[in-house]
Amino acid sequence: MNLQNPKKFKILLDQAHEVALNVLRPISRKYDKAEHAYPKELDMLASLLDGMNDGGEGINAGAAVGKRGSQDDSNKNGVNMSTALGIIEMCYGDTGLLLSMPRQGLGNSAIAAVANDEQLERFKGTWAAMAITEPNCGSDSAAIRTTATKDGDDYILNGEKIFVTSGERADSVVVWATLDKKLGRAAIKSFVVPKGTAGMTVERLEHKLGIKASDTAVIRFDQCRVPAENLLGNAEIDVAKGFAGVMETFDNTRPLVAAMAIGCAKASLERIKEIFQDQLDSNYATPYLQCSNLAAQIYKMEAEWEAARLLMLKATWMADNKKPNSKEASIAKAKAGRVGNDITLKCVELAASVGYNETELLEKWARDSKILDIFEGTQQIQQLIIARRELGKSSSELK
């Protein structure tokens, strides 16, 4: 089992690392303090990423879970893995700025996961936000109350969505809504709603603990009319399949959020090792029980970080090779979200006044990391999903 990054991604990752250091880090504090201001420096960078993505496997948050059922059973390290590895490097620079990158939104992943070929072509190049969470529906996506009612060749959307990342800036929003509340999870579908559609209103932008460079919106849908062709994937309600079609989106995006947490934690770990480099054994030759308490804590964090990275790689590899990865995606997200948050906070603690001061980015990384254990499903929801998959129980059997 080869645990190294695939060599074919080296140039891509080297470029992403340089972008993190030379583009994102220098403006990180600027946009942390200027909440809701759009980082104009990202426009040129986004154009560069578009070119890289058009050329093949690049950093593209629209990474698709391949079409399963293909006869090609050769091993692949494809767009899911390259995306996740690229995200690690970009979040090593700044998580909020990565989330603000045009045309790299999580809504793009939703489109890639469930759209048909015609829709993939039609929505190519759009910047898509993703609207799932509602005021009375947190991580339980099956409890969605936003409705989509068929009316001729259109659907009419009514409801409210909160915590929509890039909700104001994006070109369109992927909205999750139910076609029939009585049919439960099976009736939940996703719709692409272009910016400026009548009936869709951005109510407000949230003031947040971290990722301040990224706008987080509350969006209301009031008799919002959307063409039926904008319903992603199949409009049929398959009760037997249930929520599985929608869950393919999460199977796609949760490893990417894990990669964000890994990248943010990588920045903190690297910085704390620089601060205490004189007290650490760079060759790891000193037995663990003979290390200082400080060194032991740092080595333990490194081990946890590496475990999270490998779990994330497994989930992305499975997606690239068309293997069902729902459990593995949740395992990776749960581990990386918790470990990333623990590491960034511990690094602030170990660095004491240096870590708590705005002259360092350690305190910012600690604030940014918290959301990565919350959005795309909280720690508790991930553990529930893992338990259901491990025990073979349905959502009604294990709540």
Q: Does domain 7-122 have CATH number 1.10.540.10?
A: yes
Is there a catalytic annotation at residue 274?
no
CATH number (1.10.10.60, 3.30.390.30, 3.40.50.970, 1.20.140.10) of 244-391 reads 1.20.140.10
- Measured between alpha carbons, how far is 267 from 319 in angstroms, rounded to an integer? 27
Sign of CA pseudo-dihedral 355, 163, 338, 306: negative
Going by their DSSP bridges, the two strands 154-165 and 172-178 should be labelled as unpaired
Q: Is the predicted pLDDT of residue 322 greater than 60, yes or no?
A: yes
Q: Which 3 state secondary structure label does DSSP give 338?
A: helix
Model confidence band, residue 68 (pLDDT cutoffs 50, 70, 90): very low
Q: Is the predicted pLDDT of residue 110 greater than 90, yes or no?
A: no
Write down the catalytic residue from 89, 248, 363, 376: 376
pLDDT given for residue 77 in this prediction:
85
Name the residue ranges covered by the structural domains of the chain.
Answer: 7-122, 128-230, 244-391
Q: What is the mean pLDDT of residues 199-227?
A: 97
- Measured between alpha carbons, how far is 182 from 64 in angstroms, rounded to an integer? 31
Q: pTM value?
A: 0.93
Phi and psi at 363, nearest 5°, equal -70, -35
Query: What architecture is domain 128-230?
Result: Beta Barrel (2.40)
Sign of CA pseudo-dihedral 187, 193, 196, 202: positive
pLDDT given for residue 63 in this prediction:
45
- Nearest alpha-carbon partner for 78 in 369, 327, 353, 313: 313
Going by their DSSP bridges, the two strands 172-178 and 128-131 should be labelled as parallel
Q: Which of 219-223, 317-321, 323-327 has the highest mean pLDDT?
A: 219-223
pLDDT given for residue 243 in this prediction:
59
Q: What confidence tens digit (pLDDT) does each residue in 19-56 have?
A: 999 999 999 999 999 999 999 999 988 887 776 666 55
- Determine contact, residues 264/369, Cβ cutoff 8 Å: yes
DSSP states of 305-323: HHHHHHHHHHHHHHHHTT-
pLDDT > 90 fraction of the chain, expressed in percent and rounded: 72
Model confidence band, residue 64 (pLDDT cutoffs 50, 70, 90): very low
> Which ranges of the chain would DSSP assign to H, the alpha helix?
10-19, 25-33, 42-54, 79-93, 95-99, 106-114, 117-122, 244-275, 293-320, 326-351, 362-370, 379-391
Residue 231: half-sphere exposure toward Cβ, Cα within 13 Å: 23
pLDDT given for residue 394 in this prediction:
86
- Measured between alpha carbons, how far is 338 from 268 in angstroms, rounded to an integer? 14
